[in-house]
Amino acid sequence: MSSKNSIQKQKVVVCGAGIGGLTTAALLAHRGYEVHIFDQAIVPGGCASTFKRRGFTFDVGATQVAGLEPGGIHHRIFSELEIDIPNATHCDPACAVFLPGETVPINVWRDPEKWQQERQRQFPGSEPFWQLMTKLFEVSWKFQGRDPVLPPRNIWDVWQLTKALRPDTLITVPFTLMTVADALRLYGLEKNLRLKTFLDLQLKLYSQVDTEETALLYAATALAVSQAPQGLYHLQGSMQVLSDRLVTALERDGGKLLMGHTIEQIYTENGKAKGVKVRNQKTGETWVETADHVVANVTVQNLVKLVGAENRSHPIPGYKRRVDKLPSPWGAFVVYLGVDERAIPANCPPHLQFFYDYDGPIGENNSLFVSVSHPGDGRAPTGKATITASSFTDTQIWRHCQDYQKWKQQYTDEAIARLSQYFYLKPETIIYQEAATPRTFVRFTARDEGVVGGVGQRLSTFGPFGFANRTPIQDLWLVGDSTHPGEGTAGVSYSALTVVRQIEAEGSSRF
Ligand SMILES: Cc1cc2nc3c(=O)[nH]c(=O)nc-3n(C[C@H](O)[C@H](O)[C@H](O)COP(=O)(O)OP(=O)(O)OC[C@H]3O[C@@H](n4cnc5c(N)ncnc54)[C@H](O)[C@@H]3O)c2cc1C
């Protein structure tokens, strides 16, 4: 039996059609696998999907994309799949950050020199810190570009990791156990409140945690992807274009996508994944779909539930204990506004971040990350615009609150009042408004408790110490933002590519 024929017969079931699941499915179908992908929602894309209301198109969660430049992860994957790279514009500045009481933002420019001048003006004396970050980023980015497998779980993974190492990678080793706050202390910058707050705000978007906890090596990448030759992009049309193109490639290559189908359980036998229990939400029909590999595009919290659904003793007790011990991840509260263009100030950047109060850490509802559509980008009719504003929120508040609707309205009103300090938001300019809470994310993305953004990038959970794509159950793979958190759709695409390479390597070693 030739190895190619054997590989072609392998069947893969993917649970979830977020960007992680769709990318895995499309790549596997393109490489000759039989792929079935099930998603409980009605539209694919998960946190990077969209919804339409009264002529407006709102991005559910993700609004900006990294990795579209040549060599970037989305670009690489779209090229392999032979599908067109979506049209997009640069986000420049990538973000305009407003600190408490300030009306002039810190602009994170795309041009590296312009960004250097901006930060030197904003944070005098901090350049040695930034130079360290730049050096660590350059080395880490080259390393990442050589497709290491992190964290490694078997000999093949270790080999991929070893192949990606170069002498310059060793520069990063002494920094592996440092946080961003450690580096600030190294340069005597720990008391620089504006710098620390700016870093807290930006890091929190990517790593869930602030400078005190974020791993330095992770931060070096997260903070530098906004600059050329990388950079952040605003997609023409909406975020849905990413999923749509992946679905086109998947179906062209014979893969099957079934929306409105929930995977209720992942079956294992003798430490190996055997298949899944699927339920058609419309008909209520359930069946067992057997597979050679099961790819779970879910949070790691969902994964332990799916494999342990009907087991009194959990099949992966150590793994479950690790997941149970994770600090509670954040949820998101999001306000979606369809507005008249008069609401938008002239030259408004596409992304803004506001922090309202120096008292206390960035947390429950005291900052906003805002995305604004621009004319002709496909999100709003002529003369109108969309504003999407999200804040961090504790998922447990929403789970246990007595009067959900009242609570939601209160958060919405507060968010709009805060946005009104920058935008002209009056009854005559707000055409449509809606809000999403962790409960909404549970319903539409099935993420456990409505947590978003993946596992916090603390020292104990970043890169080499994070959750692997390989799970303790053979042929069960985890893909998505629990394994490659913080870099959104770009990160989950790396995660997908790694799983595809691992599945392929397993196939060739078996035959
Ligand atoms: C408010 C907010 C703002 C964000 N901003 C950005 C940004 O600007 N840029 C960026 O790149 N990223 C951003 N992100 C993060 C980014 O959206 C996510 O990290 C990424 O989209 C996650 O993709 P995923 O494939 O891991 O999972 P998900 O998007 O969670 O997709 C998982 C899919 O699996 C399905 N599913 C789950 N369980 C089951 C089951 N049992 N059976 C069947 N189907 C199931 C779900 O319905 C869902 O479609 C943001 C996220 C949020 C919430």
Tens digits of residue pLDDT in 356-383: 998 877 888 889 999 999 999 999 999 9
Residue 69, class by beta-carbon neighbours within 10 Å (0-12 exposed, 13-18 middle, 19+ buried)? middle
Would 59 be classed as within a structural domain? no
- Whether the CB of 422 sits within 6 Å of ligand 1: no
Tens digits of residue pLDDT in 101-132: 999 999 999 999 999 999 999 999 999 999 99
Q: What pLDDT does 487 receive?
A: 73
* pLDDT band with cut points at 50, 70 and 90 for residue 3: very low
Backbone angles phi, psi at 364, to 5 degrees: -50, 105
pLDDT at residue 4 greater than cutoff 60: no
Please check whether residues 276 and 306 belong to one and the same domain.
yes
Would 52 be classed as within a structural domain? no
Would 84 be classed as within a structural domain? no
Nearest atom in ligand 1 to 351's CA: 8
With b for 16 or more beta-carbon neighbours within 10 A and e for fewer, the 447-470 pattern comes to bbbbbbbbbbbbbebbbeebbbbb
Q: What pLDDT does 265 receive?
A: 96
Q: What's the per-residue H, E or C state across 410-439?
A: HHHHHHHHHHCCCCCCCCCCEEEEEEECHH
Q: What pLDDT does 490 receive?
A: 95
Cα–Cα distance list, 240 to 95, 234, 337, 436 (Å) = 22, 12, 18, 18
Nearest atom in ligand 1 to 63's CA: 8
* pLDDT band with cut points at 50, 70 and 90 for residue 314: confident
Its domain, for residue 353, covers 330-448
Please check whether residues 247 and 347 belong to one and the same domain.
no
Please check whether residues 492 and 437 belong to one and the same domain.
no
- Whether the CB of 482 sits within 6 Å of ligand 1: no
Mean residue pLDDT across the chain: 95
Name which residue sits closest to atom 3 of ligand 1, judged by CA.
61
Would 396 be classed as within a structural domain? yes
Please check whether residues 362 and 313 belong to one and the same domain.
no
Please check whether residues 316 and 345 belong to one and the same domain.
no
Q: What is the pTM of this model?
A: 0.96
**Tokens found for residue 215:** 């791993």
Domain of 287, CATH number, reads 3.50.50.60
Q: What is the mean pLDDT of residues 70-87?
A: 97
Tens digits of residue pLDDT in 139-153: 999 999 999 999 999
- Whether the CB of 393 sits within 6 Å of ligand 1: no
- Whether the CB of 19 sits within 6 Å of ligand 1: yes
Name which residue sits closest to atom 45 of ligand 1, judged by CA.
16
Would 269 be classed as within a structural domain? yes
- Whether the CB of 65 sits within 6 Å of ligand 1: yes
Torsion of CA 470, 476, 479, 484, to 10 degrees: -20
Q: What pLDDT does 485 receive?
A: 62
* pLDDT band with cut points at 50, 70 and 90 for residue 509: low
Please check whether residues 413 and 335 belong to one and the same domain.
yes
Cα 208 from chain centre: 11
Q: Evaluate whether 511 touches 1 at the Cβ level (below 8 Å).
A: yes
Q: What's the per-residue H, E or C state across 474-497?
A: ECEEECCCCCCCCCHHHHHHHHHH
C-alpha 444 to ligand 1 mean position (Å): 10
What's the number of domains the chain is made of?
3
- Helix 240-252 to helix 19-30 angle (10° resolution) is 30
In testing the pocket of ligand 1, which one of 265, 298, 439, 440 has its CB within 8 Å of the most ligand atoms?
298
Please check whether residues 209 and 353 belong to one and the same domain.
no
pLDDT at residue 187 greater than cutoff 80: yes
DSSP-assigned beta bridge partners for residue 58: 51
* pLDDT band with cut points at 50, 70 and 90 for residue 309: confident
pLDDT at residue 6 greater than cutoff 70: no
Would 250 be classed as within a structural domain? yes
Please check whether residues 337 and 299 belong to one and the same domain.
no
Closest to 296 measured CA to CA, from 26, 15, 41, 34: 15
Q: What pLDDT does 360 receive?
A: 79
Q: What pLDDT does 8 receive?
A: 52
C-alpha 289 to ligand 1 mean position (Å): 24
C-alpha 215 to ligand 1 mean position (Å): 23
Nearest atom in ligand 1 to 21's CA: 25
Q: What pLDDT does 365 receive?
A: 80
Name which residue sits closest to atom 44 of ligand 1, judged by CA.
39
Would 110 be classed as within a structural domain? no
Domain boundary among 419, 448, 477: 448
Q: Evaluate whether 95 touches 353 at the Cβ level (below 8 Å).
A: yes
Please check whether residues 319 and 399 belong to one and the same domain.
no
Please check whether residues 250 and 208 belong to one and the same domain.
no
Name which residue sits closest to atom 16 of ligand 1, judged by CA.
488
C-alpha 439 to ligand 1 mean position (Å): 14
- Whether the CB of 10 sits within 6 Å of ligand 1: no
